[in-house]
Amino acid sequence: MTDRYDVIIAGAGPAGGQAARDLASRGYDVCVLETESRDEFPSRSNKSTAGTFPSTMASFNIPDEVVMNFTDDVVLESPNHHFKRHQPGAVLEFADFKNWLVEESEADGAEYYFDARVSKPIMEGGEIVGVRYNGDEEVYGDIVIDATGPSAPLAKKLGVCNLQRERQAIGIEYEFEGMDIDADGYADLTDTMMLRLDHDLAPGGYSWIFHTGGDTAKVGVCYIQNQGHRDNARTGFTIDDYLQYWVDTDPRFENAERIAGKQHRGSAHIQLPTRMSTDNFMAIGDTVPTVDPLWGEGIDKCMRSGRMAAATADRVLTHSERDTSASQLKIYDQLWHDRVAPKVKKRLFMTEMLYRTSNERYDSLISSLHNYSEDQLESANQGSLLGMLRLLKFEDLSILASTAKDWFSN
């Protein structure tokens, strides 16, 4: 190992691993600093439901070997209704997927420092020139990328991100066997990814069942610390309590048992990003943050942000002057808004409205989805203003008004 690289990446998640993969394949000297040890990786960071779609699989050449189950449909549930839509997908084994990214980038020459906890940037002349880790260890590079997620030890100290606690989403997931995947009174969840809107189970958020084959599934709950959560939360309930309550009251879990060692916890922030880069530095993945605000999909967004950062680094490092100033790296910010999360403001506003809605309105919304065409539903899902307005009813005007008031006052 050397102590000088073209690019230093803090964090070996989907964003950091993909950035390393792209940069190493282009011949750059890349090192990745990862907190976990090589032997345990990624036991502590194995926190994603890891549902994704064919476009992601194809765009990044993700192999079938890291897929637990290929799915055919997406199901949306409310307390009393459901809606099924044909949408092929894949539920990944997240640990295998992360290790695949490491192996792919290592094969192209990326160096990984495991057991390397990043603490702070090394500064010269007001600019980051390297990273300090494990107390007093140092490594230097022309460009530094923070892919550590919400901890963001570099981005925070450089003033690049401003993650807000009230915008934090927290989640927990178990893996079960013995599930009743096709229970009476519910949608058949065979080879599906199901998301449920129900404040009794996830106030200000959603819960899910992702079928992983046979009678097994990933089951979880996630909520944002938002107005919807404050209005609907049960006194004294933790995220664990909500998941256990669901398991205790839903007949699909009557004969189910948790699979030992398969518990995943995670957090992300659901908010508009501020700037994402400065001199010699870019923030990617959930450091930005990047997770889709509406449905929580993170793998595709994180990998795309890693790819856009790699493309930006490639552009400035191939230039004869190797200009890594803020003005040049700002290209990444533009690519993020154009290629990673277009229409993010509209999707965030849609999210704010959705999680303030009552369970009764969830029932009428899910029931009414059968009346819309595929094109109309896709338009709303992509953040089209007209598409979203078509889903609204008169009773939603008060929620629209209160959301807009809070949105523009912050």
Per-residue pLDDT of the chain (410 residues; tens, 9 = 90+): 568 999 999 999 999 999 999 999 999 999 999 999 999 888 776 667 789 999 999 999 999 999 999 999 999 999 999 999 999 999 999 999 999 999 999 999 999 999 999 999 999 999 999 999 999 999 999 999 999 999 999 999 999 988 887 778 889 999 999 999 999 999 999 999 999 999 999 999 999 999 999 999 999 999 988 888 899 999 999 999 999 999 999 999 999 999 998 888 888 888 888 889 999 999 999 999 888 877 778 899 999 999 999 999 999 999 888 999 999 999 999 999 999 998 888 888 888 888 889 999 999 999 999 888 888 887 777 767 777 778 888 788 888 888 888 777 76
Residue 201 neighbours by CB under 8 Å, 6+ apart: 207, 221, 242, 245, 246
DSSP codes, 14-81: HHHHHHHHHHHHTT--EEEE-SS-TTTTTSTT-----EE-HHHHHHTT--GGGEEEEEEEEEEE-SS-
Q: Are 41 and 33 in contact (CB under 8 A)?
A: no
CA distance 159 to 325: 16
3-state helix vs strand vs coil in the chain, percent to 5: 40, 30, 35
CA distance 253 to 282: 44
Amino acid at 106: E
Beta bridge partners of 113: 33
Secondary structure (3-state) at 13 = coil
Q: Is 346 exposed, middle or buried (0-12, 13-18, 19+ CB in 10 A)?
A: middle
Domains of the chain: residue spans and CATH = 4-47+95-163+273-340 (3.50.50.60), 63-92+166-269 (3.30.9.10), 344-409 (no CATH)
The pair of three-digit structure tokens given for residue 406, joined into one six-digit string: 């809070």
Nearest residue to 344 (alpha-carbon basis) of 400, 265, 269, 266: 269
pLDDT computed for residue 50 by the predictor: 83
Residue 118 dihedral angles phi and psi, to the nearest 5°: -70, 135
pTM as predicted: 0.93
Alpha helices by DSSP H, 227-338: 227-232, 239-249, 299-318, 326-335
